[in-house]
Structure 1
Amino acid sequence: MNKLLVSLGLSLLPFTVQAVSHNPDVKRSPLQTQDLSVSFNQHQNGYYKGDLIWEDWVTLAWDGTKNRAQIYQDKAQQTNPFLRVNYPKDGVGPLHSGAQFLVHLPPADEYWLTYKVRFNGRFDFNLGGKLPGFASGEGKYANGVIPTDGKGWTARLMWIREGELVPYLYYVDMPKENRWGHFWSTSNFIKPDTWQVITQHVRLNTAGQRNGLYQVWVDGRPLVDKRDMLWRYGNYGQIDSFIFGTYHGGANPEWAPRWNSTADFDDFSISRQMPAYLRNAPVLQQASQPLSNKPNPVPALMATRRALPNVARPPRPIAVSNKPMVQMPLARPIKLTTYVKPTQQQRFIRPLPKVVKPQPFNINFPRR
């Protein structure tokens, strides 16, 4: 299969926010005294947004679900209610795909996040998309905003081509060439139509030391074990947010699902302690380390155009730009923006000596 590099920088969009009226006072969080658990069992079928989210997550900061998240119960199979997220055909980024909301957490140096996810049927993974995780600085250190000041970071997961599950990190010591997030191959693939349990563990480094932890388990099996993380400088950057964010891409239309897709989420737990189901799990034997080659040779991110019917010639390279997108603060509303396709290739005439008849040639302009 012919493969083309796609700039991850062009594939990212700022978080989309919709203000809610509730005061996100972290003193109200159950995490002050106990774990925070959300299972959706007490809800009836319907859209999951605004006040309904606030009932489960009492320190909700903002809601960007945009009627693409709903409580769902499969009565034919007598299942308990769960959260179903819709990823519409051709929808890219948080404005048009998936759902988001952000929850404030009592600042701490260590948290565990566990939840169940099921990607349904013919879910179109296409080039990739995001999954929930933790953040410091209310999630503003993402989307190309590298935390050079050492006061914040983000730690999420994402899927890439064929459903490979990979880390997706921003932190003060991230490799310079990974401007749009640090990620690497794990060779672990999502199983459609199957509930899978994902656990992420973040423990911040002590001041001046590279001893922070980032660990991930899938169904009790270790996926990532990094024990040398420099998340921050000094005592800044405590964990202060949970980001429920899942969507395709990405800004480039080629990240969009080619058909309507859905994924289900359930049984969220945020804790300061290791979850009970992992206490007897196998010890992490070997760290899953980032690939060292430059640029990062993640095979799944060598994006391809959609399959061409019986055409032998390779697809035309995609012209991309390294110019970063305008960043917006995470916790403030932004206006709806529409992706505008670049103009088609233009033709110019190259001046040649009079004795030679001029010949036309093409110039590929970069996307802006």
Structure 2
Amino acid sequence: MAFSVQVAASGATEVSDRCEQRIKNIYPSLPDVSQVLDGAQAQNSIKGRANLTNKTYSQKIKDIAVHFPAGSYDPGSMVRLGLPYGGIEFKSALPQPGRECLVLTYELKFDENFNFVKGGKLPGLYGGTGNTGGKIPNGHDGFSTRYIWKEKGTGAIYAYLPTSKTWGTAVGLGSWIFTVGQWHRLEQLVKLNTPGQADGVISIWYDKKLVHSETGLTFRDTPDITIDGLLFSTFFGGNNPSFATPVSTNIRFRNFVMSSQRVTDPSGQGD
């Protein structure tokens, strides 16, 4: 079955770009995204490692290129069919204990030949088990806030929440449009709800512009669920061939940082 979206209701009159509890940037050397891959958890859990390459411009300036072979879509489906795996997935846990609020920033660039087809996934945050793949959270196990692209590059956050139905909930669907061949900056602020109250927040900035903010969200029913790290998950799909990329293509990523506030501009590295 293809992935579908449950659209969340919008609404926030005042939007904060920082969390109350301050922390240092998790990756203080912002251009060096190789730090995302240094943790043992990330190294030991990478699915699709063959599709990952680092391109180096200087000693500290790198980006990650993720490859999608022609005809690839949902990795689980491809594995079952014995076909080439497209994209990559791994978790990179925070070095500090779980957070109640966090800002994730990174930049990405779709190849010139990239065809958005019907949709796909992009990295986001996770907590607990990092629910995806139709595993709806029960309020005590986890959540995730990956981005998605839809037809013609329409963007959203595809959040797995206890209030989701069969699949994820689309937050901010259509608030921005991805374009190919140029770098874009994505920022998401996730503030978890107080257990027992629907007061969680997701705010999204695209190319430094606030494009959507959502209040009244429920991520959890227990304080044991916190924001635990980066869910680096990107692939075409949906889990049927109608989502498959018609061409061999790539997405490049750089400048990952997780912090308690929006970071200063890290752009301008690479090409």
TM normalised by structure 1 equals: 0.58
CA contact (8 A) 2:66 2:88 kept: yes
CA contact (8 A) 1:157 1:165 kept: yes
One-letter amino acid of the structure 2 residue matched with residue 169 of structure 1: A
CA contact (8 A) 1:117 1:195 kept: yes
Equivalent position of 1:68 in the other structure: 51
Equivalent position of 1:157 in the other structure: 147
One-letter amino acid of the structure 2 residue matched with residue 167 of structure 1: I
SS at match of 1:108: coil
Change beyond 3 A, Cα 1:227–1:272 = same
More moved, 127-136 vs 100-109: 100-109
Distance 1:159 1:42 in 2: 22
CA contact (8 A) 1:156 1:167 kept: yes
What runs of 5+ residues in structure 1 fail to find an aligned partner?
A: 1-5, 10-31, 44-51, 278-368
- Tell me if 1:148 matches 2:138: yes
Distance 1:215 1:147 in 2: 21
- Tell me if 1:82 matches 2:63: yes
CA contact (8 A) 1:150 1:171 kept: no
**Deviation readout 1:108-133 (Å, 9 max, x if unpaired):** 11111000101110201111110001
- How large is the Cα RMSD of the aligned pairs? 2.7
One-letter amino acid of the structure 2 residue matched with residue 82 of structure 1: D
Picking from 89, 94, 99, the partner of 2:88 is 99
Distance 2:160 2:260 in 1: 22
Distance 1:217 1:42 in 2: 20
Identity of aligned residues (%): 25
CA contact (8 A) 1:87 1:257 kept: yes
Task: Specify which structure has the higher proportion of strand.
Answer: 2
Distance 2:168 2:129 in 1: 17
Change beyond 3 A, Cα 1:193–1:267 = same
Picking from 181, 193, 207, the partner of 2:168 is 181
One-letter amino acid of the structure 2 residue matched with residue 88 of structure 1: P
Change beyond 3 A, Cα 1:90–1:181 = same
One-letter amino acid of the structure 1 residue matched with residue 203 of structure 2: Q
CA contact (8 A) 2:119 2:150 kept: yes
Equivalent position of 1:327 in the other structure: none
Distance 1:217 1:83 in 2: 21
Higher relative contact order (CA 8 A, sep 6+): 2
Picking from 240, 244, 255, the partner of 2:232 is 244
CA contact (8 A) 1:135 1:241 kept: yes
CA contact (8 A) 2:175 2:212 kept: no
1:208, CA displacement in angstroms?
Answer: 1.8
**Deviation readout 1:187-242 (Å, 9 max, x if unpaired):** 42112111111001111111222111111100111122011111111323211131
Distance 2:73 2:33 in 1: 32
Picking from 123, 133, 143, the partner of 2:124 is 133
Distance 1:7 1:42 in 2: 32
Change beyond 3 A, Cα 1:110–1:162 = same
Distance 2:126 2:33 in 1: 28
Question: How many pairs were matched up?
Answer: 235
Distance 1:71 1:232 in 2: 36
SS at match of 1:188: coil
After the TM superposition, which residues 1-368 of structure 1 pair with which residues of structure 2 at under 5 Å, given as runs?
A: 7-8=2-3, 34-37=24-27, 41=32, 54-55=37-38, 57=39, 59-60=41-42, 62-73=45-56, 80-94=61-75, 95=79, 96-105=85-94, 106-139=97-130, 141-174=131-164, 176=165, 179-183=166-170, 185-276=173-264
Equivalent position of 2:14 in the other structure: none
Distance 1:231 1:149 in 2: 7
Distance 1:190 1:248 in 2: 15
CA contact (8 A) 2:105 2:186 kept: yes
What runs of 5+ residues in structure 2 fail to find an aligned partner?
A: 5-21, 80-84, 266-271
